[in-house]
Amino acid sequence: MRQSKSKALVVLALAALPVTAQTRPQYPESRRLDLVETLHGVPVADPYRWLEDVDSAETAAWVEAQNRVTFGVLERIPARAALRERLTKLWNYERFGVPQKEGGRYFFTRNDGLQNQAVLLVADALAAEPRVLLDPNTLREDGTVALAAYSPSPDGKRLAYALAEGGSDWNTWKVRDVATGQDLSDDLKWVKFSDAAWTKDGRGFFYSRFAAPKEGEDLKGANKNQTVWYHEVGTPQSADKLVYERPDKPEWYLFAQTSDDGRWLVITAFEASSDQQALFVKDLATPGSSVRALADAMDARYTWVDVSDTTFLVRTDKGAPNGRLVAIDAARPWPDQWKEIVPEAREALQEASVVGETLFAHYLQDARSVIRRFDLAGKPKGEVALPGLGTVGGFGGRRGDSETFFAFTGFTSPTAIWRHDAAANRSEPFRTPKVDFDPAAYETKQVFYASKDGTRVPMFVVHKKGLALDGNNPAILYGYGGFSVPLTPAFSVPLVAWLERGGVYASANLRGGSEYGEAWHEAGTKHRKQNVFDDFVAAGEWLVANRYTSPKKLAAMGGSNGGLLVGAVVNQRPDLWGAALPAVGVMDMLRFHKFTVGWGWVGDYGTPENSDDFEALRAYSPYHNLKPGTCYPPTLVTTADHDDRVFPAHSFKYAAALQHAQGCANPALIRVETRAGHGAGKPVSKAIEEAADEWAFLHLALGMEGGR
């Protein structure tokens, strides 16, 4: 009791002092277990495993105490209030989603600026005044219920939609009458990573779900044995019909789609543990037909694009690391019978779609979007003219459509929505946002640098025009490097706020992404994962060598797999960074596979169950490679208590271990968001608060004006 009171007095005394980067916080006690396991003959300590029980009273008290210390530091940073005010003003702009057209109606999202969640609108014609169909902001006062997905029926009369609560990946699906705006009785539970694939008659849809988890396991239990079901509108979920299951393949994800003509159900099986896919089809026009294989070797990636009669257009990297388009006849699906429609290109093929009589193919050329057009036989028809160098998303639609829509964005270009006439190859603005900043005041460069092994790696660098290259600029280096995710130019409000204060922003296209196809991805996986860290370190060294910044002014930033990246490079090169912002990171590489969907990451990481993979994982695992007495850079770990993608205990354990190991006064803080998850569906209000806190922390750590 006396010790607790004494600690409280110390914290109160510190609160009265001006905060600096050299003010060592008084951290809460993090109990250390004498827990050592022998894995593959190697003793492995895990002193903070008790924090894996995220629902225990002890863990809850630890989180509360850590937040109290963290916010005690953040609240004393002078720049924080001004940052929050500016972020709020910047965020207050109208923004839209890409429209989807069904039954002559247009469905799209809109946020008027500071709404916590985007609102779903519907318009009966392109020029008609849209009306509100679904407003998630009315479902919970704090804005933590999000519209996770939606799917209008082919006739546009009904809407299947998914709600996510508190940032969880779990979705509840409902059905709404589009004309009346009223919900029907449908209520589908335990759905995750699924869409709603309507039948042509609009009577029902196919979806994927898991079995209900055991009590208390919904946010941390492993999710396996996903199954495909058919739901008839107006009936209880208990009456749904099982369509496809693979109990022999418990680690497969199953995703259902239906063809435009209503004849085919296409099921894509994702083998997350190997990054491979398979395609299965069911002829819905033939009663009692079975699900049969279209491409089931699980030897490459296969993505269904379109179908005509019995011939399926498929995007695959089989025999083509950069991707190609092939035609597969369901009656003769063997690889030697495939017909190549669009051959592999020098650039990496990311997506493909068919609208009207045009085939659109989305390529990445040095991490920027290029859209090429083909006829349905694969004959080139030129490119779609884009507004600039940036990133494109969209080009969805049906064979009978004459128009499609796409979004375009860049680092200083707010996401604009464009309408494209497929036959005329002409684009026009549909919705263009206006943000309170001058994009002409900034410039974006793409540079190329050599990694440790000589590999040429691209990086985007964004800053104010006329930047002095004197090594004194605060800079953020952002990276991801995994799971075939490319880092392409994209607008964000926090980025603008950072640039306005003289900050440099660099985004490195590390191996592990798909910027240059599957070979680039493979080069950053499993036993080659160190390449990702080497690429990131080389990017930081390039920024320093070229006088954009200096180590004491350079922050490492990344989230999820990028949080792992930050943890690893801070351990390996603590001298290179002036600050670290690891968000929702995978920090315990020896137990990641034991929680939620972590088992599916072994395709990129390998598995700790294998002795060779274990050695590779142990060599860089952020939690296991902290060395007591080392001076680590000022660090702000961020996570959320409802993150059921990357279990929050990763960040809890890492933060506790970092605080124990820290050999200097640099702060090692953790910020735990409540009623939020991995990031999707986060309310705008929470996003503003988090960004203000992160930038305020960097002002403190990097010695920026207003940071002390």
Just list the catalytic residues. 560, 678
Measured CA to CA, the distance from residue 375 to residue 359 in angstroms comes to: 6
What's the distance, Cα to Cα, between the start and end of the chain in Å? 34
**DSSP single-letter state for residue 290:** P
**H/E stretch holding 496:** helix 493-500
Q: Reduced to 3 states, what is the DSSP secondary structure of residue 435?
A: coil
CB-count exposure of residue 12 (10 Å: 0-12, 13-18, 19+): exposed
Q: Which residues pair with 281 in a beta bridge?
A: 266, 292
How far is CA 474 from each of CA 462, 621, 641, 669, 705, rounded to the nearest angstrom? 12, 28, 31, 20, 11
392: phi then psi, degrees, rounded to nearest 5? -120, 145
User: In the block, which residue shows the tokens 């008290």?
Assistant: 61
What letter does residue 688 receive in the DSSP assignment?
H
Within 8 A by CB and 6+ apart from 126, the residues are: 106, 419
Instruction: Give the SS3 label for residue 381.
Output: strand
Report the candidate in 472, 445, 474 with the shortest Cα–Cα distance to residue 461: 445
Residue 257's H or E segment, with its range, is strand 252-258
Report, in angstroms and rounded to the nearest whole number, the Rg of the chain calculated over CA atoms. Answer: 26
**Residue 315: phi, psi to the nearest 5?**
-90, 130
Ranges of beta strands (E only) in 653-699 are: 668-673
On whether the CB atoms of residues 566 and 581 are closer than 8 A, the answer is: yes
**What are φ and ψ of residue 501, in 5° steps?**
-90, 15
3-class state of residue 196 by DSSP: coil
Q: Token pair of 145, please? A: 């219920």
Q: Hey, what amino acid is at 237?
A: Q
Place of tokens 């080392």: 630
Q: Which helix (H) or strand (E) element contains residue 191?
A: strand 188-191
Q: For residues 70 and 84, give the distance between their C-alpha atoms in angstroms, rounded to a whole number.
A: 17
Beta-strand relationship, 475-478 and 554-559? parallel
Helices then strands, counting H and E runs in the chain, come out as 11, 39
Contacts of 2 (CB under 8 A, 6+ apart): none
Mention every residue, 6+ apart, whose C-beta is less than 8 A from residue 673. Answer: 638, 639, 640, 641, 686, 690
- Closest by Cα among 649, 655, 656 to 636: 655
Element (H, E) at 45: strand 42-45
What amino acid is encoded at 628 in this protein? P
Residue 388 to residue 205: CA distance in whole angstroms: 39
Quick one: 589 exposed, middle or buried, by C-beta within 10 A (0-12, 13-18, 19+)? buried
206: nearest Cα among 276, 122, 262, 287: 262
Phi, psi of 58 (to 5 degrees): -65, -45
Residues 354/362, Cβ–Cβ less than 8 Å: no
